[in-house]
Amino acid sequence: MIRKMLYRYERDGGGYTVSPERPEGKHYNVRWRLIAEEGRAITDGETIVTVIDVQHRKDCETWRDCNLPEELKTETIDEGIQ
């Protein structure tokens, strides 16, 4: 599983942005994006996904690698090209 730190902050004019780049001069909250390795999934014991954002670093410990269920497998762009 890959863990990436993200920054969530309010944009000028309203709305929010979640970005891997830390904003200069803005208040932000740190988030974590958990990404399954190629051909795998991650689970918290109930939900199985290939990517998810969590709010706290300790939430990362809840998630672990697992096999990718058939229903989550999708055709890649290259597989459809002949």
How many angstroms separate the CA atoms of 27 and 8, rounded?
Answer: 9
**Would you place residue 82 in the very low, low, confident or very high pLDDT band (cuts 50, 70, 90)?**
very low
Q: What pLDDT score does 2 carry? A: 94
pLDDT digits (tens, 9 = 90+) for 30-80: 999 999 999 899 999 999 999 999 998 888 899 999 998 887 776 554 555
Measured over the CA atoms of residue 77, residue 78, residue 80 and residue 81, the dihedral's sign is: positive
Measured over the CA atoms of residue 69, residue 4, residue 54 and residue 14, the dihedral's sign is: negative
Neighbours of 6 (CB within 10 A): 18
| Backbone torsions φ then ψ of 6, nearest 5 degrees | -125, 160
Cβ neighbourhood burial of 63 (10 Å; 0-12, 13-18, 19+): buried
Enter the pTM of the model: 0.77
At a CB cut-off of 8 Å and minimum separation 6, what does 59 contact? 32
